[in-house]
Amino acid sequence: MKLRGNPMGNIQQDARVAITIDEESGVYRKVLVEGKAEVLYPLGHDDEWRDIYRRITLRYVDEGSGDYYLTETHDQPRALIGVALESAKVMTWRMPGEDEPFSGIWATRFYEQGSKMREQVASGGGEAGGDKLKVG
């Protein structure tokens, strides 16, 4: 986490956070995490966790690009913030697969009482219909 906008000050004032991950490719998986942030490594302690943020970087880019990025941003202080998932509220959802009922596209609570989709969910989900969705 970088200093811009003072997120560290915000977290120190109020550790409640919400994190959303929204994937655009594949099955459009989504994750929402609501919990308390914990500073695992504060700003200025980069040497203590440099290997960790290198591994994080290499999840997204190839090794050459990752090393270049890290070399070029070496003088930017970072902090590592974590959220304990066991005490957080975590929700996940995704688009239904080809062999799954289309009614699984939303959680049951979002369907209007008496609607076609609510009735399908109430009767066990209905027939497979995820194949009607062209995803990715």
Confidence bin at 28 (pLDDT 50/70/90): confident
Residue-range domain boundaries for the chain: 97-136
- pLDDT tens, position by position, 68-109: 999 999 888 889 999 999 999 998 877 777 777 777 777 778
**DSSP letter (8 states) at residue 127:** S
Which residue, among 130, 129, 102, 133, has the nearest Cα to 118 in the 3D structure?
A: 102
The pLDDT value recorded for residue 95 is 76
Strands 30-41 and 89-93: antiparallel
Rg (alpha carbons) of the chain, rounded to whole number: 21
Confidence bin at 52 (pLDDT 50/70/90): very high
Tokens of 129: 């219909």
The pLDDT value recorded for residue 38 is 94
User: pTM of the entire structure?
Assistant: 0.64
